[in-house]
Amino acid sequence: GNEKASKDEL
């Protein structure tokens, strides 16, 4: 899986 997926979130 891909870590660090949250940068496009708020």
Distance, CA of 1 to CA of 10 (rounded, Å): 21
* Min dist. Cβ of residue 6 to another protein (A): 4
DSSP 3: S
Tally of CB atoms within 10 A around 4:
5
User: Per-residue x/- mask for another protein, residues 1 to 10, rule CB under 8 A?
Assistant: xxxxxxxxxx
Q: How many residues bind another protein (CB under 8 A)?
A: 10
* Min dist. Cβ of residue 3 to another protein (A): 6
Interacting residue ranges for another protein, rule: CB under 8 A: 1-10
